[in-house]
Amino acid sequence: MRKNKSTVVGLGMYQTIGSWMLWYIGILVVLHLASGATSYTGIELNLSQSALINGEASWSILNSALTSSKGFFLICGLLSMGGFIKYFVSNGVTRLDYYKGTLQSIFYLSLSFTAIVALLFGLESLIMNIIGIERSISVPIAFYFKMVLDVCLFYLVGWFIAAGFYHLNVWFGFVSIASSLLIVFIQSGIWGENVPIPLYKLMNIYEVSTWIATFISLILIVVVSILIRRLTKEARIKD
């Protein structure tokens, strides 16, 4: 059976961005091990959800992945316009298929990244138990849900910014950056991360339940996806 064009785009994007992701994970592991070799003092580690989210877990691959993956996938999103849309459209792919395929790749990348990090954490825990290092482990499933949602949203935010600059003009691009910052602050705040904005703190939406945080994150993902579709629907392919 012949694959539809959106699936072809999704596979192509997944393979390309996925290869970048594997390089990123490899570098992350090396830096994580180097950091542990130079700073680990043998104290008991706190791996509760709040400690991981706020960067208080002194040494864990989960903490390293959560804090750095947002920037990585934001950059991947920024690179999802330009050469990619030009390549696919010039090869007979519609803008709608490009849009659908990229969304598919984002979903699969988020699941793949989270699964790899979870496996690395399991391996890390096994090795530490073998060498007799004590650690306090409490990693709820909600943490992995958050990681999937973070990957999706930050990738989409980067794509949204790139689409704003690509389709319209520089001024709208700056507006898209400001809008993206608001989205990122909301995402961080509802999951209990520190957001350095006094007005945001007055809104008092910190520490909502996991279900509400997940629901709001999904709404943000849908809203950004719709905005991207509007920006890419009739995007002019630049030479």
Phi and psi angles of residue 45, each rounded to the nearest 5 degrees, phi first = -95, 140
- The pLDDT score that the predictor gives to residue 121 is 86
Tokens of 50: 């709040």
Give mean pLDDT in consecutive 10-residue pieces for the chain, a chain of 239 residues: 76 94 92 64 44 51 83 92 83 89 95 94 80 66 88 94 79 82 85 62 56 90 93 74
The gap between the terminal CA atoms of the chain, to the nearest Å, is: 34
CA distances from 79 to 55, 196, 207, 214 (A): 28, 28, 33, 27
* Cβ 17 vs Cβ 30: under 8 Å: no
- The pLDDT score that the predictor gives to residue 64 is 79
pTM for the predicted model, two decimal places: 0.85
- The pLDDT score that the predictor gives to residue 35 is 66
| Spatial separation of the C-alpha atoms in residues 214 and 212, rounded to whole Å | 5
| Spatial separation of the C-alpha atoms in residues 229 and 163, rounded to whole Å | 9
Count of other CB atoms within 10 angstroms of residue 209? 10
* Cβ 177 vs Cβ 161: under 8 Å: yes
- The pLDDT score that the predictor gives to residue 199 is 47
